[in-house]
Amino acid sequence: MRIVVAFFLVVVGIALFVSLQCTAKATSQSQASVAASPYLIERVANNDWLLIDVRSPEEFADGHIPGAVNMPHENINDYLSELEGHKDKPIIIYCRSGRRAKLAMKVLEDLDFSEVMHLEGDMLGWSAAGMTVDRM
């Protein structure tokens, strides 16, 4: 009986370890983020990073982060040919509050884009921090 209990505990321990490893990997990939800062604008201006605003064209025109390109989240698949050159480069995604950005991030991550990150605070956080906003 002791052997059965010991075997059961070892199996449960291994299953727990594997589960935690998978969770840690998924969490680290889906929670990569970048802080709102002048450094972000500099990296985008130097074409080191691609900054994507996934809000509607109307929201984008009302105000967006300098250097951002507008690719509405519901149409992100329409922009894949433009994004192909950024498959292994940093892509920063934001929307108003985070929901649409996370949807777009999931699409790109599923298509093996390796460095997809979320802008902390999205547009609301950017504006609250008093950072520069371009208007059309």
Check 95, 101, 116, 123 and give the catalytic one: 95
Active-site annotation holds for 95:
yes
Each domain of the chain, given as residue ranges in start order, spans 1-31, 32-128
The pLDDT of residue 20 is 45
- Write out the two tokens for 70: 């507008």
- Write out the two tokens for 26: 């998924």
pTM of the entire predicted model? 0.77
Share of the chain above pLDDT 70, in %: 79
Indicate whether 49 pLDDT > 50.
yes
pLDDT tens digits, 53-82: 999 999 999 999 999 999 999 999 999 999
pLDDT tens digits, 97-110: 999 999 999 999 99
> Rounded to whole angstroms, how far apart are CA atoms 104 and 91?
11
pLDDT tens digits, 2-39: 786 555 455 444 544 445 454 444 444 456 899 999 99
Residues 32-128: name the CATH superfamily: Rhodanese-like domain (3.40.250.10)
